[in-house]
């Protein structure tokens, strides 16, 4: 029951697995206290399945929110990645309309679109600075993979090499913009320090150019 509860919390409150780890650090301390706590902390396949399911459900909920926003004509993000996602959403709506025209679905029922959306493989990874739409089977334009040594067996993007402002798979949404603007302000203040070494100033200038590139995309420039 404890593991199931933690899985459900992870689904409903993204990032809560980190908070759980902080709150229950005493459990790690007691894990070696006796055999009962040692066994309790062991890997459990059923717990892994619950967590995977909870994460998948939360991911689809966020994808569905983007889909609904796009269906209402709202901006879901900026950049080439957003254009790709809008095209994918349009294809889902067209298929739903075809099903209704053939009498295979109820008219006006949004669950038709949501059902198709769930069965359609749309590659998207949600992040704090941007969302990534890289397709593992066709990673065209993925900046993180350019000139990179990919570890054996690895699939998907290399998160530590992500370049949100330059990648064609990147989506920068309105929820990301405050972070980018704050980063621009912070870098600008740092650059204005009079005793900054020239090489450090040049590195900061490069970072500022990347941030401004991301912000220009949001402005439609």
Question: What is the DSSP secondary-structure string of the chain?
Answer: -HHHHHHHHHHHSTTHHHHHHHHTHHHHHHTTTSHHHHHHTS--HHHHHHHHHHHHHHHHHHHHHHHHHHHTT----BSHHHHHHHHHHHHHHHHHHHHHHTTSS-TT-THHHHHHHHHS----B--SS-EE--BTTB-TT-GGGTT--PPTT--S--GGG--TTT-TTEEB-TTTHHHHHHHHHHHHHHHT-TT--HHHHHHHHHHHHHHHHHHHHHTT-
- Highest mean pLDDT out of 2-6, 52-56, 193-197: 193-197
Regarding whether 64 and 138 lie in a shared domain, the answer is yes
Q: Tally the domains of the chain.
A: 3
Same-domain check for residues 146 and 54: yes
Are 158 and 122 in the same domain? Answer: yes
pLDDT in the model for residue 1: 62
Does 128 or 3 have the greater pLDDT score?
128
User: Do 138 and 79 belong to one domain?
Assistant: yes
Same domain, 33 and 127: no
Residues 64 and 101 in one domain: yes
Q: Are 50 and 84 in the same domain?
A: yes
Name the residue range of residue 49's domain: 43-171
Question: Which of 139-153, 172-186, 192-206, 207-221 shows the lowest mean pLDDT across its residues?
Answer: 207-221
- What average pLDDT does this structure show over 21-35? 46
The whole-chain average pLDDT of the chain stands at 81
Q: Are 78 and 173 in contact (CB under 8 A)?
A: yes
Cα–Cα dist 27/21, whole Å = 9
Quick one: pLDDT at residue 14?
A: 54
Say which range, 16-30, 63-77, 155-169, has the weakest mean pLDDT: 16-30
Residue 16 tokens, joined: 């809560």
Q: What percent of the chain has pLDDT over 70?
A: 77
- Do 100 and 150 lie in one domain? The reply is yes
Residue 36 shares a structural domain with residue 48: no
Q: How many CA atoms lie within 13 A of 153 on its CB side?
A: 0
- Pick the more confident residue, 43 or 157: 157
Are 126 and 21 part of one and the same domain? no
Two structure tokens written together for 146: 């350019």
What confidence tens digit (pLDDT) does each residue in 122-136 have? 889 998 899 999 988
> Do 159 and 144 touch, CB atoms closer than 8 A?
yes
Kindly state whether residues 191 and 201 are assigned to the same domain. Answer: yes
Phi, psi of 67 (to 5 degrees): -60, -45
Both 79 and 143 in a single domain? yes
Q: Which residues contact 207 (CB under 8 A, 6 or more apart)?
A: 187
pTM for this predicted structure: 0.71
């Amino acid at each position: 029951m404890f593991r199931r509860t933690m899985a459900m919390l992870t689904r409903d409150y993204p990032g809560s697995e980190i908070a759980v780890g902080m709150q229950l650090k005493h459990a790690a301390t007691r894990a070696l206290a006796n055999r009962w706590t040692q066994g309790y902390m062991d890997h459990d396949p059923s717990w892994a399945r619950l967590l995977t399911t909870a994460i998948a459900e939360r991911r689809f909920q966020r994808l569905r929110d983007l889909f609904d926003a796009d269906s209402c004509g709202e901006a879901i993000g900026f950049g080439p990645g957003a254009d790709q996602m809008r095209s994918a959403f349009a294809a889902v709506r067209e298929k739903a309309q075809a099903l209704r025209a053939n009498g295979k679905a109820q008219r006006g029922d949004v669950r038709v679109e949501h059902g198709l959306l769930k069965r359609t493989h749309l590659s998207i990874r949600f992040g704090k600075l941007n969302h990534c739409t890289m397709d593992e089977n066709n990673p065209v334009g993925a900046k993180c993979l350019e000139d990179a040594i990919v570890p054996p067996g690895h699939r998907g993007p290399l998160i530590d090499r992500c370049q949100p402002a330059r990648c064609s798979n990147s989506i920068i949404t309105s929820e990301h913009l405050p972070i980018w603007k704050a980063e621009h302000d912070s870098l600008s203040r740092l650059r204005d320090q009079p005793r900054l070494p020239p090489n450090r100033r040049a590195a900061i200038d490069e970072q500022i150019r990347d941030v401004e590139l991301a912000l220009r995309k949001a402005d439609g420039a």
